[in-house]
Structure 1
Amino acid sequence: MIRVVVVDDHPLYRQALADTVGAAPELQLAGAAGDGDAGLKLIRDLDPDVAIVDVRLGRHDGPDIARAIEQSSLRTRILFISAHDDGATVHRALAAGGNGFLTKDAGSIEIRRAIIGILRGEVVLAPSAQAQLTAELRRQCLPEHPLLTEREQQMLEHIAEGQTVAEIATDLYLSQATVKCHLRSLYAKLEVGERAAAVATAMRRGLLS
Structure 2
Amino acid sequence: MSSTTPPPVRVAVVEDQPLFRSMLQRTLGETPGIDVVAAVATAGEAARVLRPGFADVAVLDIDLPDGNGIALGVTLRRSQPRLGVLLLSAHDAMDLLLDLPRDVAAGWGYLSKTSSTSEEVLVAAVRAAAVGETVLDPELLARVTPRAGSAVSRLTDRQYEVLRLLASGLSNAGIGHKLGITEKSVQNHVNALYATLGIDADPSRNPRVSAALRLLEETGPAV
Which bin holds the TM-score, normalised by the shorter protein? 0.5 to 0.7
Q: State the match for 2:36 in structure 1.
A: 29
**Aligned-partner residue type, residue 115 of structure 1:** V
The answer on whether the counterparts of 1:2 and 1:28 sit within 8 Å (CA) in structure 2 is yes
Taking every aligned residue pair, what percent have the same amino acid on both sides? Answer: 27
- Residue 65 of structure 2 is aligned to residue 54 of structure 1: no
Q: State the match for 2:108 in structure 1.
A: 99
Count of paired positions: 136
Hey, what's the Cα distance between the residues in 1 that align with 2:26 and 2:9? 15
- Residue 73 of structure 2 is aligned to residue 66 of structure 1: yes
Greater share of helix? 1
Hey, what's the Cα distance between the residues in 2 that align with 1:8 and 1:133? 31
Deviates more, 1:3-12 or 1:67-76: 67-76
Q: State the match for 2:51 in structure 1.
A: 44
Q: State the match for 2:120 in structure 1.
A: 109
Q: Cα distance 1:89–1:4, how it changes in 2: closer, same or farther (>3 A)?
A: same
Q: State the match for 1:162 in structure 2.
A: none
Hey, what's the Cα distance between the residues in 1 that align with 2:82 and 2:125? 17
Q: 1:80: Cα distance to partner?
A: 0.7
The answer on whether the counterparts of 1:18 and 1:32 sit within 8 Å (CA) in structure 2 is yes
- Tell me the secondary structure at the aligned position of residue 50 of structure 2: helix
Hey, what's the Cα distance between the residues in 2 that align with 1:117 and 1:87? 17
Q: Cα distance 1:68–1:49, how it changes in 2: closer, same or farther (>3 A)?
A: same
**Which blocks of at least 5 consecutive residues in structure 2 are unaligned?**
1-7, 151-223
TM-score, normalised relative to structure 2: 0.53
- Tell me the secondary structure at the aligned position of residue 24 of structure 1: coil
Q: 1:30: Cα distance to partner?
A: 0.2
Q: Residue deviations 1:99-149, cap 9 Å, x none?
A: 1001114221111111112223321001344466977xx8xxxxxxxxxxx
Hey, what's the Cα distance between the residues in 2 that align with 1:70 and 1:113? 20
Q: State the match for 1:124 in structure 2.
A: 135
Superposed CA RMSD: 2.7
Q: Specify the structure having the higher radius of gyration (Cα).
A: 1
Hey, what's the Cα distance between the residues in 2 that align with 1:73 and 1:91? 20
Hey, what's the Cα distance between the residues in 1 that align with 2:96 and 2:38? 26
Correspondences of 1:1-209 after superposition (within 5 Å): 1-44=8-51, 47-92=54-99, 97=105, 99-104=108-113, 105=115, 106-130=117-141
Hey, what's the Cα distance between the residues in 2 that align with 1:112 and 1:26? 10
**Aligned-partner residue type, residue 109 of structure 1:** E
Hey, what's the Cα distance between the residues in 2 that align with 1:134 and 1:10? 35
Hey, what's the Cα distance between the residues in 2 that align with 1:134 and 1:64? 29
The answer on whether the counterparts of 1:79 and 1:100 sit within 8 Å (CA) in structure 2 is yes
